[in-house]
């Protein structure tokens, strides 16, 4: 497995942005004391530090740079919109895909565009789909499970990946 450690630059302390990312990113786990926020996206494990963004499970440097550029944009976008986001200083754990799967209808009907309910569960915890994408879950028979899912799943990300005004581009350094 290759791990790329990305250095954001000496003037790019993103510590103050972490509580806003914690509020906006589903499944993020924030450690306020250490100023670290971890998150999973697209099969990658991500860690946001004051001056670093680390990403794992990347095939090559080019792919890592592309991913990190998107994450830098995400941080910039979040910071731009901090007036609209209530910062969250709590450390909360992301529900497991298995615990989410157990609350889905379990019919593997594919109406959500996924081949199975378990695939949908994986995407739910990664905030790549929403509860509304599962049509059977909207039926009265599943209302209790939908309510439970709304409770355990943090809200969908409130932010997009639009490039911020700084247009920051990271330096990269490889760690194997």
Please report, as ranges, the residues that interact with ligand SF4 according to CB under 6 A: 104-105, 107-112, 114, 117, 120, 134-137
CB 29 within 8 A of CB 134: no
Nearest 5°: the CA angle 175, 26, 48 is: 30
Least CB distance to ligand SF4 at residue 123 (A): 9
Least CB distance to ligand SF4 at residue 94 (A): 18
Q: Which two tokens stand for residue 65?
A: 């740079």
Residue 92 CB neighbour total at 10 angstroms:
12
CB 157 within 8 A of CB 84: no
CB 22 within 8 A of CB 30: yes
Pair type for strands 44-48 and 29-31: unpaired
Q: In angstroms, rounded to a whole number, what is the distance separating the alpha carbons of residues 126 and 111? A: 19
Helix H, strand E, coil C: the string for 52-67 is: EEEEECCCCHHHHHHH
Least CB distance to ligand SF4 at residue 146 (A): 11
Q: In angstroms, rounded to a whole number, what is the distance separating the alpha carbons of residues 100 and 107? A: 14
């Amino acid at each position: 497995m290759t791990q790329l450690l990305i250095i954001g630059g000496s003037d790019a302390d993103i510590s103050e942005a972490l509580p806003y990312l914690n509020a906006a990113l589903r499944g993020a786990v924030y450690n306020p004391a250490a100023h670290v926020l971890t998150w999973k996206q697209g099969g990658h494990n991500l860690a946001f530090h004051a001056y670093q963004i680390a990403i794992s499970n990347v095939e090559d440097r080019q792919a890592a740079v592309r991913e990190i550029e998107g994450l830098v944009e995400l941080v910039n976008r979040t910071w731009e919109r901090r007036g609209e986001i209530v910062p969250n200083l709590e450390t909360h754990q992301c529900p497991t895909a298995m615990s989410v799967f157990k609350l889905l209808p379990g019919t593997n009907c594919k109406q959500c565009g996924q081949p199975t309910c378990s695939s949908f569960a994986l995407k739910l915890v990664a905030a790549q789909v929403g509860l509304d994408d599962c049509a059977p879950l909207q039926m009265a028979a599943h209302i209790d499970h939908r309510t439970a899912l709304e409770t355990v799943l943090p809200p969908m990300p409130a932010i997009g990946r639009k490039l911020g005004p700084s247009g920051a581009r990271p330096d990269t350094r490889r760690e194997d």
